Structure 1
Amino acid sequence: MLKLLGAALIIVAGTMAGWMKARQYANRPSQIRSLMQALKRLETEITYSFTPLPDALRRIAHQNKDPLRSLLMTAAEGMNDAMGLTAQESLHRALDQHWRHTAMKASERDVLHQLAYTLGTSDRRDQLSHMESAIRQLEAEEAEARDDQARYEKMFRSLGLLTSALIVILIY
């Protein structure tokens, strides 16, 4: 009876691990899409509303779900008078704190990291061109993420169950 319970726990744990890994592959394209939409909204705020960067980031953060909401709010809070960080420092700090909670990979982080160097430091036209470039790079990453999702999502779901079943067979 105890062996049966142990085997069931191993199978459940392995299956859940596979499903969690598969969920990362499923969440990555949608998170990249949300990030692109947030950057497009930021373009609009900079171009038409002339909204200060911290206020624009706060407004955009409220329109998104976590983990992107937390990332943008932390970046906006870092630029307030009490913290006194530059846009670059604030965004880098937010990336360091919240990136591990996303399903996105280092390539998307690098795009935001590079974008942070120009936010708030150059004229409006230059910032917009850098944001457009970042959006184009993210579109390419999204296409790659969709390919990875199609290729690996189902495989990891099955692999979790099969690996745990193999462990149970080898143990007993």
Structure 2
Amino acid sequence: MIKMLGAVLVIAAGTMAGWLKARQFANRPDQIRRLIQALKRLETEITYGFTPLPEALRRIGKQNHAPIRSILMKAAEGMDGQAGMTAQESLHKAIHEEWGHTAMKPAERDVLYQLAFSLGTSDRRDQLKHIETAVRQLEAEESAAREDQAKYEKMFRSLGLLTAALIVILIY
């Protein structure tokens, strides 16, 4: 009876591990898409709203879901008068602290780091060009993420169950 319970627990744990890894492959393209939409909203705020950067990030953050929301809100908080950080410092800190909660990879993080160098330090036209470049790079990453999802999502679901079944067979 105890062996059977142990086998069920091992299979459940392996299956859950596989499903969690598969979920990362499913979440990554969606998070990249939401990040692209957030950057396009930021572009609109800069172009038409003439909104200060911290307020624009706060507005866009409120319209998003976690983890994009937490990155934008933390960046806006850092730019407020009390923290006294520049836009670049604040964005870098927010990305560094919140990136672990995303399913995105270092390539997307690097795009945001590069964008942070120009936000708040150049004129509107230059900032818009940098945002457009970041959006194009993220769209390419989204395409690659969708390909990875198609390749690996099913595989990891099955792999978790099969690995757990192999462990049960080897143990018993």
TM-score, scaled to structure 1: 1.00
Q: Distance in 1 between matches of 2:72 and 2:130?
A: 18
For 1:140, the equivalent position in structure 2 comes to: 140
Secondary structure of the corresponding residue to residue 117 of structure 1: helix
Instruction: Output the CA distance in 1 between the equivalents of 2:19 and 2:85.
Output: 40
Residue of structure 1 in register with 2:65 after alignment: 65
Q: Does 1:44 align with 2:44?
A: yes
Deviation at 1:125, TM superposition (A): 0.3
Identity between Structure 1 and Structure 2 (%)? 74
Partner of 1:20: 20
CA distance in 1, matches of 2:130, 2:18: 38
Question: How far apart are residue 100 of structure 1 and its match?
Answer: 0.5
Q: Please list every run of at least 4 consecutive aligned residues from structure 1 whose deviation after the TM superposition is greater than 3 angstroms.
A: none
- 1:110 maps to 110
Please tell me the residue identity of whatever aligns with 1:88: Q
Paired AA for residue 115 in structure 1: L
SS at match of 2:118: coil
| Residue aligning to 1:84 | 84
AA at the equivalent of 2:41: R
Give the match's secondary structure for 1:151: helix
Please state how far the C-alpha of 1:53 moved relative to its aligned partner: 0.1
Unaligned runs of 5+ in 1: none
Q: CA RMSD in A?
A: 0.3
TM-score, structure 2 as length reference: 1.00
Name stretches of at least 5 consecutive residues in structure 2 with no aligned partner: none
Q: Which string of whole-angstrom CA distances, capped at 9 and with x for unpartnered residues, describes residues 121-164 of structure 1?
A: 00000000000000000000000000000000000000000000
The number of residue pairs the alignment matches comes to 172
